[in-house]
Structure 1
Amino acid sequence: MSDQPAASSRLPGLLYLFALCNLVLGTGAFGLGGILEQVAADLKQPVQAVGQNMTAYAFATALLAPVLLVLAGRWRRRTAVLATLGTFALGVLVSVLATDLRTLLLGRVLMGAGASFTPLAAGIAVALVPPAQRGKALSTTFLGMSLSYVIGVPLGAWIGLAHGWRWPQMGVLVLLLVMMVLVWRLMPANVNAPGSSFKGLGTLLRRGEVLRTLAMTLFYFTAIFSVFAYIGPVLLSLVPLSPAQLSGTLVVFGLAGVAGTLSGGWATDRFGALPSLRVQLSGLLLMMLLVPLTKGLYLPLLLALVAWGVCGFGMMAPQQSRLASVSPPQAPLLLSLNTSMLYFGTALGAAVGGLGSPVLGFDQLPWLGAVFAGLGLLVLLTTPTPQPLAPQRVTP
């Protein structure tokens, strides 16, 4: 096998391999959300306390991902990919063996460090396609994360409710090892993609469009995860559901996320990132306002969740594309910073949801998230169309 994949045949395979890896990582990262009550009972902790496993995971990713990507900036891309997947696998193992909350949180921190795979893969995807195909390449890479909500999270919830919360996590560990073997066998050793570097970071952070893009990511992920970190209790507080019905509802939500991911990439290439984001974030805000009003009404709740999934997942590709277009040579660093904001938002959302649920109740938690969605929309509506920097050389 040659060191550099051919654009016509090898590139699609590499992107789909990244999508499979993101499927497994997404399952491991978000799979506990539907079975928090089982984890809490096993560890003898309140649900709100166990819900902070997402806070630990998210803060670890936000703080460690940019540093780890820069430290590995001179490594071969395949070596860096394997290192991130291996770190995530170690974190899953620690979590599976946890008998107390502290050990579980330690495992989640390691998993968060390994989640630096996602911006690493995004940077590689951007480097291997022409600018007109960035939306499609990014949506393909992130497709696995969306599919984790269709396949991994519902299946993990069903297995966890039936057999205990550790079993789905053990399944994630096995699949991670399989993914590492596939990466070793199928990914070329020398993919022509730049590594991350802090060079030029000060210049980038003085640009208003970069700061506004990062702020919007922070706000809309805070909005989403103030609810999704507690999605099992939220759904059950709105409509009584059996384990099978809960899993089925999560599957439908995940399918909507897949549709959103694919349509978001298409809309980015067809209409541009900013117009796509304005429609999607407006839709997300509206759904967050409507969901509490569906209490006792399963079909309206399901329809609102479908629209929520399409809008929420649809924003990934245009957000990443916005940043990559600002300075393509520094795309890995920009995407890493965006991932940090994503996970700061995830952590803040989990913390806000944990604090707000005893006051509002799980059924009204989406109204709290809507506040942050509104802030994100305000930032977005005041954002002018960015102009890219002149190309500059960045030493990996």
Structure 2
Amino acid sequence: MNLTAPDLPHVSVLTPRGRGAVAVIELYGNLDRLEQAARAEGLVWFEARNGRSLADQSLNRIVFGCWGDEELVVCRTDEQRVEVQCHGGRFAVARILADAKAAGATEVRWTEASPDFRADYLDALSRSVTERAAGFLLHQLSLGENFWRAEQLQQLDVDNLAECRCWQKFGSRLTQPWDVVVGGPPNVGKSSLINRLVGYERAIVFNQPGTTRDVVSVETAIDGWPVSLSDTAGQRGTADELEARGIEQAVKALQRADLKIVAIDQSQPCDEFTHELIQRFPAALLVLHKADLPRHESWSSTAIEDALSVSSKTDEGVRELINAISARLVPELPSEHVVYPVTLRQEESLNAEFNRRGLD
């Protein structure tokens, strides 16, 4: 994959994040100068089996050699560009990057090295974790490869720009999970609820109130959307300093969440603190947990008409809760013709056009 590089020498990792069998690193610049600088600094550099330097290798020919004790192959794809194909482990990649930077190359993300917005979509696809999200990204690739160029954005009317921005958050969540936070009083079964939603026991479950002190998160998929589910410390009045800090973190997590779930134990009486918590987050999805137990009579006089009854033990209401989460996160889908940003660079291009026109 050839990228349109800046004038300065650079080094970029072309393969996606994570460990793999093979990693591909692009080295761009005056190859003779980079190698001379490396030798002058006593750095490890590529040693070809044929004895030639990188600058002397034939174009588009695979060459075997080593970088220190790492055996690998390289391919010189144009006069100033070489692809290094090495072991995909992070230490092998880090070693080559460090040597190249010490020789004078600047490390850049491969999308930053290319003005082609197609690279943005390919990078987003590499970070997508669900099939449904990847499908939307592929559709955006077919629609928007040339959409984000400044001259193209300048030709759009205000309504088209506004529609594009309307789906900005949806586009960002195709690569970054929706943030769903479960709050509520202590010992209402928040951890058990998350375990049931995720499908395995990821959170700590213990019948002692106040067990969860930190925000504990786990990533999953709900209706095909990437979701981060967070368990929080039980919210209540407390004199314990450590627990109070955990509750403060829990409240902050709830405040910034894409979706708040407030879970209560329906078998226990509705005390004043629980009622205040429900009132504090009126937009939250309210869950009456432990539906396998009789509901305490005090809840009959509380405004819980829209609450979902759920039992982690019997699975009652779990499917309905999953459907409700999906409907809250994505109440509607974009039409097939609309283009929206899916990367930070695309968001910046859209915002720059709004600023250029003096629009909010």
In proportion to residue count, which structure has more strand?
2
Same fold at TM > 0.5: no
Query: Larger relative CO (CA 8 A, sep 6+): 1 or 2?
Result: 1
Q: Under TM normalisation by the shorter chain, which class is it? A: under 0.3
TM-score by length of 2: 0.27
Which of structures 1 and 2 has the bigger CA Rg?
Answer: 2
